[in-house]
Amino acid sequence: MIEDEPARRRGLWTATVHVVTGLPVALLGVALLLPPLVVVPVSAGPLRGVLARRTAAQRQRFAALLNVAIPEVGGAAALRRQAAFHLLAVPFGAAAFAVVVGSASTGLGLLFAAGQRPVFAVSGVGLLVVAAVAVRWLVRLDALLARRLLGPNATEALNARLRELTRARTEAVAAADGERRRIERDLHDGTQQRLVSLAMTLGLLRTEVPDGPARDLVEQAHRQAKATLAELRDFVRGLHPAVLNDRGLDAALSGLVAGAPQPVQLRVDVARRCPPVIEAIAYFVVSEALTNVARHARAERVEVAVVRDADRLRLTVIDDGVGGAADRPGGGLRGLAQRVGSVDGALRIESPTGGPTLVEVELPCGS
């Protein structure tokens, strides 16, 4: 944690106000904390409520007067530390008050009474300087105490950071998923429709043009339009098939499996559906695994199984190909590992040279 110097960044006067108001604020805190301590057991709700409000008040005071930000924190250990701070604030506030107000008022008194006595004047100025220096050091000490006791300790700060990162990652994964759906929708509603329309027009034209070179060119254009359409369809379906939202993994995967060049035996046993993001990743895993098999494995047959076991979704893709599959940078299995990892899934690849290859993925499927 960065130790800034609050009293320098804020003026001496606000720092002095902070030190001087420390005692009344602390006394008020203890006064409010006492009733629930005495009347009801320590762990009860009212005490927690008062503690939380006192901590919030102190946090605001430090932010307003010293520009010191104290992160919020929950949990039993943090509450005990905060209670300790509120109790400690009384003697600390009293001592600080005594030192600063005592030295400053004595110093001022000496200055007023100085007259022709330079010793008094010098002592008065000296005491005022002492008061100012004391304010600086007391404010630093107070800020240090507040950060340690009111704020999170190292473990709590790390845990909070972890929660924050987990949330950010979940959002990023959902955003990427949403983006793929949006692209699929856009291509479906725009480019694909236009291409179909173009192919239709060429199809009509083909039957109108008499035999000859022009007819050959139209035929060629017609074939090209249809080939482009087929290629685009494969790509778009790979992004995010609409049937996945609508009917789930079983329906989406059977369409996928049908497009594989080698026979695929598919078994899907998912009684309750998983969250959409998990379904999308499961679909992607099978899609990538089948692409890999088609490209590299020279397999005769493939078995795909998707089984939900409580709150885990288990996917296995087994092929009887040549084996030797590995997670290489830029390879298909790397992309697969990344997407599985993005939701805390686990990936296992067993692929001895000579085969068979087993790709096993486990995804969290709590809903």
Partner 1 sequence: MRVVIAEDSVLLRAGLTQVLASRGIEVVAAVADPDALLHAVERLQPDLALVDVRMPPTFTDEGVRAAGLLKRRRPETAVLLLSQYVEERYAADLLVAYTGGLGYLLKDRVADVDEFVEAVRRVAAGGTALDPEVVAQLLARRRTSPMRRLTPRETEVLAAMAEGRSNSAIASALAIGAHSVEKHVNSIFAKLGLVPADTDHRRVLAVLHYLENGGRA
In the complex, the residues that contact partner 1 under the rule CB under 8 A are 185, 188-189, 192-194, 196-197, 199-204, 206-207, 222, 225-226, 229-230, 233, 236-237, 241-243, 245-247, 250-252, 254-255, 257-260, 263-266
**Nearest to partner 1 of 102, 238 (CB atom):** 238
CB of 198 to partner 1, least distance (A): 9
DSSP sequence for 139-158: HHHHHHHHHHHHS--HHHHH
As a whole number of angstroms, the distance between CA 341 and CA 362 comes to 10
Q: How are the residues of the chain apportioned to helix, strand and coil, as percentages rounded to the nearest 5? A: 70, 10, 20
Task: Report d(CA 321, CA 344) in Å as an integer.
Answer: 29
Tokens 């008062």 locate to 50
Cβ 351 to partner 1, closest distance in Å? 24
The smaller minimum CB distance to partner 1, of residues 199 and 306, is found at 199
Instruction: Cite the beta strand spans of the chain per DSSP E.
Output: 264-269, 302-309, 312-319, 346-350, 357-364
Q: What tokens does 124 get?
A: 């008065």
Considering the complex, state which of residue 248 and residue 364 has its C-beta at the smaller distance from partner 1.
Answer: 248
**Which residue, 102 or 248, is less far from partner 1 as judged by CB?**
248
CB of 355 to partner 1, least distance (A): 21
Closest approach of partner 1 to the CB of residue 197, in Å: 5
CB-nearer residue toward partner 1: 156 or 250: 250
Closest approach, Cβ 238 to partner 1, in A, equals 11
Nearer to partner 1, 241 or 323 (CB): 241
CA angle 321, 322, 326 (to 5 degrees): 105
| C-beta closer to partner 1: residue 199 or 337 | 199
CB 299 within 8 Å of CB 327: no
- Least Å distance between CB 206 and partner 1? 8
CA distance 287 to 325: 16
Measure the CA–CA gap between 319 and 327, rounded to whole angstroms.
17
CB of 258 to partner 1, least distance (A): 3
Token pair, residue 145, equals: 């105490």
Tokens of 261: 């060049």
Q: What's the closest the beta carbon of residue 145 comes to partner 1, in angstroms?
A: 58
Pairing of strands 346-350, 312-319: unpaired
Nearer to partner 1, 202 or 315 (CB): 202
Backbone angles phi, psi at 342, to 5 degrees: -65, -15
Interatomic CA distance for residues 253 and 275, integer angstroms:
16
